[in-house]
Chains A and B, each alone.
Chain A
Amino acid sequence: MEHYTMNLTLKVWRQKNQNDKGRFETYKVSDISSEMSFLEMFDVLNERLIHEGADPIAFDHDCREGICGMCSMYIDGKPHGPWQQNTTCQLHMRAFKDGDTITVEPWRAKAFPVIKDLVTDRTAFDRIIQAGGFISVNTGNAVDANSLPIDKHKADEAFAAAACIGCGACVAACKNSSALLFVGAKISHLALLPQGEPERKTRVMDMITQMDKEGFGACTSTGACEATCPKGISITNIARLNKEYLMAGLTADQ
């Protein structure tokens, strides 16, 4: 792999707090190595801002290896930037070339208000899980794990859905700010497993109700969520959710 350095122009969204209107600011950064991660490039810029006595840019991040779901930058019009199936923290500077201008914004959705700069409030996702994204089993109630064999294909499919990192990129990518890929992934994870069976109907009803309450938009099947999801969560999970929802509605005890 050939390494190189580059000079870049960054247009970054700055917003002091939730009530501030916010605006773009332009920054020049130089000598950025192609081996750096995108967030390390921000570290370099922030170090400089601190040195100059300016306010560094706030952004969310923690694991920096694509699993915690904390990082969330909208880069050149794409959540998590140009690479496929990738998070912001795993994006590396070799994706860019000398002289590029990069625009960076926070997730934009009514349900994810901005806290500061690129940091948003995604607790709406937690509240959707609270509505039903679980299996009701208290500690100590479990039977031997192998007493219930599960078809490997089903288990693998459940795992693929459970791999969602709750980052919210799907919402940010959707012109309606729909959360259906996130909710569909959780519904699928639990509906595919026999353990999830008893609460199947109430779960889907309750999670959808909460989702609407949080102000997420409707799904018009544009597929933007799937295309942007860093974990490759498939849009078939939305189809499964719709099926579950329909079934639950048809058979609900009135």
Chain B
Amino acid sequence: MLDAKIPAGPLDDKWTEYKGHCKLVNPANKRKIEIIIVGTGLAGASAAASLGEMGYKVKAFCFQDSPRRAHSIAAQGGINAAKNYQNDGDSVFRLFYDTIKGGDYRSREGNVHRLAEVSANIIDQCVAQGVPFAREYGGLLSNRSFGGTQVQRTFYAAGQTGQQLLIGAYQALERQIALGNVKMYNRHEMLEVVKIEGKTQGIIARDLITGKLERHFGNAVLLCTGGYGNVFYLSTNAMGSNVTAAWKAHKAGAYFGNPCYTQIHPTCIPVSGDHQSKLTLMSESLRNDGRIWVPKQKGDTRKPNEIPEEERDYYLERRYPAFGNLVPRDVASRAAKERCDEGYGVGSSKQAVYLDFAAAIIRYGKIEAGKHGSENPSAEEVRHHGVDVVKEKYGNLFDMYEKITGEDPYEIPMRIYPAVHYTMGGLWVDYELMTNVKGLYCLGEANFSDHGANRLGASALMQGLADGYFVIPYTVGNYLADEIYSKPVATDHPAFADAEKAVSDRINKLMGIQGKTSVETFHKRLGKIMWEKCGMARNAKGLQEAITEIQELKKAFWSDVRIPGGTDEFNPELDKAGRVADFIELGELMCIDALQRNESCGGHFREEYQTPEGEALRDDANYMYVSAWEYRNEHEWELHKEPLVYDVIKPTARNYK
């Protein structure tokens, strides 16, 4: 039976009670305890810095050349916190409520409430570190809105919030490295978990420059390795983002939670051709000011600026008047797909809709002109001021758009289409962020914990930093307090030798195939199956087909992949091959999970389960649980269900109308 270890007592007091009663490790003992942290994005860097400060001996790993390059760096729009600085009625409860509702009632009350509680501390911590958030003229912090909420609680640094937060955490981490509390291993990839008598005792990592395998002991291992959106080949994730660390943990016994919950982000730059290697997000913050529309006429070939106002369908404002362009991501994505499937799409591929700033430019322009004392400003003057305001808010995103498409979004509406962006699923963890394997923790996007079936915008950064700065420092101590009695395991222990041998056998097997097809080709094929059959809309027949196709793909991969170069050298193709091999196995599990969930909820939309208006139809009576999958054998998993209990919130149909 899965025990989520949610503390007893009223929701508001759970975390306080926990903190008041969890076990502590005294300073002298902390120095003897080693913690391995895999991943140095927001979750990993914040955890490594905090645990280093506390006096633990930390070893941190990342596959990039520096911790500052983790995928978190790319986050654009912002980070949520229940500060209520705008005095617009925000509170811890409201952030908690919005997150549960946004997640379509598929997350744990206890976890989400804790997240909302610590959210405010995150902003304080980041400001103290020198994170230059956007400010008002009075010198106080500025906020904007994100989807799925009616308050302004998102803190931001232009369109580079992730960058600024990560630089803050990175600098805190570098400080601990300088002090000798953290030892950093760049360009290293973790490839196996080492377990002894059911307890996690270390990892096997590969030095990506020399190809050498290394054994590292740790009293606890924290996986902070990010999301697995690249299983779809094309996504907004960085090229290197992968599931390997989580997958190795899964095969070593850790359950995988809700693998099928994927977030498709509504506003990304559309695919331009077969050469496409990744997709670029246009931040959700743009929906604060941009209006989404398609022509009212099917197959309209006119240029957007030639289509008069009355011939445009602002379909989100039409369908969801209360939230308009700021409906949650899953809702916005499906609505775009629906319009394009019906033949209203725009651009050469017809797989795009417009995101238009013309109205915002005029609105802001008038206000600014007024501030400049201009009572009857000319259209040009208004436009000029308006463009300036929009530039200040979103300049870097507009530049990015222009570099990619060659079109000027100040003049012509952006063309956008949904793309894979985030994975709510991940390793199953309990309230303490421990997987079901003792001593093995999972933080950040890599775990399944807080976002249910759909994540709200600006909440991933919040969760990553909450986990790393404010949750794990308490919860890991609760476990390590007992670890002080066990001696460190020498890395010549047979368990280390066996784990290392398994890794090296697998590498040799991959290198020995010497087939004809590149890793990239297999990855693309997997992506196509996943996008078509386990993407924005799914159905039982498609999922069954996908499972068979993926199994065939796996066979083909292991008999025909071609990896150039050698094992003992810098060899990115080999690194990629290992990751794609894991993605193939994960893809199968995602389809199995999507197939067993006979309902639509959040990002998981099963075509068989929808209302007559095309809205997602949940089945709370039968599916109000977390699916936690245990790996058994090749193609064989066992489903464990963690029931979700709602004590405070009453689940209802999500309504953004």
Residues of A within 8 A of B (CB): 1, 17, 33, 35-37, 39-40, 43-44, 47, 49-51, 53-56, 58, 60-70, 83, 85-86, 90, 92, 94, 115-116, 119, 121-123, 125-126, 129-131, 133-146, 148-152, 155-156, 158-159, 162-163, 165-166, 189-190, 193, 195-196
A121 surroundings in chain B (CB, below 8 A):
65
Whether A64 and B174, one on each chain, are in contact in the complex, defined by CB atoms closer than 8 angstroms, is no
Distance between Cα atoms of A86 and B405 in the complex (Å)? 14
Which of A115, A138, A165 is most buried by chain B, counting CB atoms within 10 A of its CB? A138
Interface of chain A, helix or strand or loop or mixed? loop
Residues of B within 8 A of A (CB): 46, 49-50, 53, 64-69, 71, 73-74, 83, 85, 121, 123-130, 132-141, 157-158, 160, 162-164, 167, 170-172, 174-175, 177-178, 184, 186, 209, 238-240, 272-273, 275-278, 280-281, 399-400, 403-407, 469-470, 473, 516, 518, 520-521, 562, 564-565, 569-570, 572-573
Given A40-B275, A50-B564, check contact A145 B124 (CB 8 Å).
yes
Distance between Cα atoms of A33 and B129 in the complex (Å)? 45
A-B CB contact pairs (8 Å), 14 listed:
A37-B277, A49-B564, A68-B74, A70-B65, A70-B69, A92-B406, A131-B178, A137-B128, A142-B121, A144-B124, A145-B141, A150-B135, A155-B134, A193-B132
A166 surroundings in chain B (CB, below 8 A):
66, 68-69
Distance between Cα atoms of A162 and B521 in the complex (Å)? 38
Whether A43 and B277, one on each chain, are in contact in the complex, defined by CB atoms closer than 8 angstroms, is yes
Given A1-B406, A69-B69, check contact A155 B135 (CB 8 Å).
yes
The one of B127, B562, B569 in contact with A142, judged by C-beta atoms closer than 8 angstroms, is B127
Whether A36 and B273, one on each chain, are in contact in the complex, defined by CB atoms closer than 8 angstroms, is yes
B473 surroundings in chain A (CB, below 8 A):
139
Given A137-B129, A145-B127, check contact A130 B178 (CB 8 Å).
yes
Whether B570 and A47, one on each chain, are in contact in the complex, defined by CB atoms closer than 8 angstroms, is no
Whether B520 and A47, one on each chain, are in contact in the complex, defined by CB atoms closer than 8 angstroms, is yes
Whether B404 and A123, one on each chain, are in contact in the complex, defined by CB atoms closer than 8 angstroms, is no
Beyond A115-B570, A159-B164, A195-B130: 5 further Cβ-contacts under 8 Å?
A51-B518, A64-B278, A135-B130, A140-B125, A143-B128
A167 to B, closest residue via Cβ: B69
Given A122-B65, A137-B129, A195-B130, check contact A17 B280 (CB 8 Å).
no
For the complex formed, measure the closest distance between the CB of B273 and the CB atoms of chain A, giving whole angstroms: 6
Whether A115 and B53, one on each chain, are in contact in the complex, defined by CB atoms closer than 8 angstroms, is no
A158 to B, closest residue via Cβ: B132
Whether B564 and A130, one on each chain, are in contact in the complex, defined by CB atoms closer than 8 angstroms, is no
Distance between Cα atoms of A67 and B283 in the complex (Å)? 14
Given A62-B71, A139-B50, check contact A43 B469 (CB 8 Å).
no
Distance between Cα atoms of A142 and B407 in the complex (Å)? 44
B136 to A, closest residue via Cβ: A152
A58 surroundings in chain B (CB, below 8 A):
570, 572
The one of A35, A67, A193 in contact with B163, judged by C-beta atoms closer than 8 angstroms, is A67
For the complex formed, measure the closest distance between the CB of B594 and the CB atoms of chain A, giving whole angstroms: 28
For the complex formed, measure the closest distance between the CB of A125 and the CB atoms of chain B, giving whole angstroms: 7
For the complex formed, measure the closest distance between the CB of A49 and the CB atoms of chain B, giving whole angstroms: 8
The one of A53, A62, A92, A140 in contact with B403, judged by C-beta atoms closer than 8 angstroms, is A92
Distance between Cα atoms of A39 and B196 in the complex (Å)? 44
The one of A63, A144, A156 in contact with B74, judged by C-beta atoms closer than 8 angstroms, is A63
A60 surroundings in chain B (CB, below 8 A):
65
A36 surroundings in chain B (CB, below 8 A):
273, 275
Distance between Cα atoms of A125 and B167 in the complex (Å)? 13
Distance between Cα atoms of A39 and B38 in the complex (Å)? 28
For the complex formed, measure the closest distance between the CB of A84 and the CB atoms of chain B, giving whole angstroms: 11
Whether B178 and A39, one on each chain, are in contact in the complex, defined by CB atoms closer than 8 angstroms, is no
A130 surroundings in chain B (CB, below 8 A):
174-175, 177-178
Whether A148 and B174, one on each chain, are in contact in the complex, defined by CB atoms closer than 8 angstroms, is no
For the complex formed, measure the closest distance between the CB of A202 and the CB atoms of chain B, giving whole angstroms: 12
Whether B277 and A54, one on each chain, are in contact in the complex, defined by CB atoms closer than 8 angstroms, is no
For the complex formed, measure the closest distance between the CB of A12 and the CB atoms of chain B, giving whole angstroms: 15
A43 surroundings in chain B (CB, below 8 A):
275, 277, 520
Distance between Cα atoms of A155 and B74 in the complex (Å)? 21
Distance between Cα atoms of A60 and B205 in the complex (Å)? 20
A40 surroundings in chain B (CB, below 8 A):
275-277
B49 to A, closest residue via Cβ: A139
Distance between Cα atoms of A58 and B65 in the complex (Å)? 14
B125 surroundings in chain A (CB, below 8 A):
137, 139-140, 142
A44 surroundings in chain B (CB, below 8 A):
275
Whether B400 and A64, one on each chain, are in contact in the complex, defined by CB atoms closer than 8 angstroms, is no
Whether A133 and B174, one on each chain, are in contact in the complex, defined by CB atoms closer than 8 angstroms, is yes
Distance between Cα atoms of A177 and B67 in the complex (Å)? 23
Distance between Cα atoms of A155 and B131 in the complex (Å)? 9
The one of B50, B67, B240 in contact with A62, judged by C-beta atoms closer than 8 angstroms, is B240
Distance between Cα atoms of A242 and B451 in the complex (Å)? 47
Whether A62 and B280, one on each chain, are in contact in the complex, defined by CB atoms closer than 8 angstroms, is no
B170 surroundings in chain A (CB, below 8 A):
129
Distance between Cα atoms of A173 and B74 in the complex (Å)? 25
Whether B407 and A1, one on each chain, are in contact in the complex, defined by CB atoms closer than 8 angstroms, is yes
Given A40-B277, A43-B520, A64-B239, check contact A143 B124 (CB 8 Å).
yes
Distance between Cα atoms of A52 and B616 in the complex (Å)? 49
A128 to B, closest residue via Cβ: B174
For the complex formed, measure the closest distance between the CB of A221 and the CB atoms of chain B, giving whole angstroms: 27
B237 to A, closest residue via Cβ: A63
A133 surroundings in chain B (CB, below 8 A):
171, 174
A94 surroundings in chain B (CB, below 8 A):
406
A123 surroundings in chain B (CB, below 8 A):
65-66, 186
The one of A54, A62, A146 in contact with B238, judged by C-beta atoms closer than 8 angstroms, is A62
B81 to A, closest residue via Cβ: A145
Whether B132 and A159, one on each chain, are in contact in the complex, defined by CB atoms closer than 8 angstroms, is yes
A37 surroundings in chain B (CB, below 8 A):
277, 404
Given A69-B69, A130-B174, check contact A148 B127 (CB 8 Å).
yes
A54 surroundings in chain B (CB, below 8 A):
564
Distance between Cα atoms of A163 and B470 in the complex (Å)? 26
Distance between Cα atoms of A123 and B123 in the complex (Å)? 29
Whether A145 and B130, one on each chain, are in contact in the complex, defined by CB atoms closer than 8 angstroms, is no
The one of B137, B164, B573 in contact with A152, judged by C-beta atoms closer than 8 angstroms, is B137
Distance between Cα atoms of A90 and B137 in the complex (Å)? 33
B519 to A, closest residue via Cβ: A50
Whether A126 and B239, one on each chain, are in contact in the complex, defined by CB atoms closer than 8 angstroms, is no
For the complex formed, measure the closest distance between the CB of B354 and the CB atoms of chain A, giving whole angstroms: 16
Distance between Cα atoms of A40 and B174 in the complex (Å)? 33
A163 surroundings in chain B (CB, below 8 A):
160, 163
Given A47-B520, A144-B124, A162-B132, check contact A67 B273 (CB 8 Å).
no
Distance between Cα atoms of A129 and B136 in the complex (Å)? 29
B406 surroundings in chain A (CB, below 8 A):
1, 92, 94
The one of B123, B129, B160, B186 in contact with A195, judged by C-beta atoms closer than 8 angstroms, is B129
For the complex formed, measure the closest distance between the CB of A69 and the CB atoms of chain B, giving whole angstroms: 6
Whether B127 and A65, one on each chain, are in contact in the complex, defined by CB atoms closer than 8 angstroms, is no
B132 surroundings in chain A (CB, below 8 A):
155-156, 158-159, 162, 189, 193
For the complex formed, measure the closest distance between the CB of A198 and the CB atoms of chain B, giving whole angstroms: 12
In order of increasing CB-CB distance, the 10 nearest A-B pairs are: A149-B139, A134-B171, A142-B128, A142-B124, A159-B132, A130-B178, A145-B127, A1-B406, A139-B50, A62-B238
Distance between Cα atoms of A175 and B172 in the complex (Å)? 32
